[in-house]
Amino acid sequence: GQNIDQPTEMTATEGAIVQINCTYQTSGFNGLFWYQQHAGEAPTFLSYNVLDGLEEKGRFSSFLSRSKGYSYLLLKELQMKDSASYLCAINTGGFKTIFGAGTRLFVKA
């Protein structure tokens, strides 16, 4: 079966660091995406990990361990505008992508 697990909600303080975890079990794996989605808007691409390790892009970093079926998204120096849902998604082959339910992040002052 296909399963992607993320925490439903997280709360963090402006200026802090937050880590959003994602675990997965899928029948195929070509890569793992992280998307950001503000309420009522389309998902926007954040990162794509194919190989194990950490990829850093400004305030956002994404980590992947394929052997553990595990990834995390790290957000540093949190800003109020980072309040959004964060979607973990797996490319299972070709262009088929399976999404998790998303983690709603609330950033408070």
Partner 1 sequence: ETGVTQSPTHLIKTRGQQVTLRCSSQSGHNTVSWYQQALGQGPQFIFQYYREEENGRGNFPPRFSGLQFPNYSSELNVNALELDDSALYLCASSSLTSGRRDTQYFGPGTRLTVL
**Interface residue list for partner 1 (CB under 8 A):** 4, 30-31, 33, 35, 41-45, 48, 87, 89, 91, 94-102
By 3-state DSSP, what share of the chain in percent is helix, strand and coil, each rounded to 5?
5, 60, 35
Closest approach of partner 1 to the CB of residue 72, in Å: 17
Distance CA 42, CA 10 (A): 20
Query: Is 34 or 63 the residue whose CB approaches partner 1 more closely?
Result: 34
Torsion sign across C-alpha atoms 4, 70, 43, 75: positive
Query: Is 70 or 92 the residue whose CB approaches partner 1 more closely?
Result: 92
Closest approach of partner 1 to the CB of residue 41, in Å: 7
Query: Is 8 or 67 the residue whose CB approaches partner 1 more closely?
Result: 8
One-letter amino acid for residue 72 of the chain: Y
Residue 73, phi-psi category: left (phi > 0), alpha (psi -120 to 50), beta (remainder): beta
Closest approach of partner 1 to the CB of residue 16, in Å: 25
Residue 102 is encoded by which pair of tokens? Answer: 């998303």
Query: Is 69 or 100 the residue whose CB approaches partner 1 more closely?
Result: 100
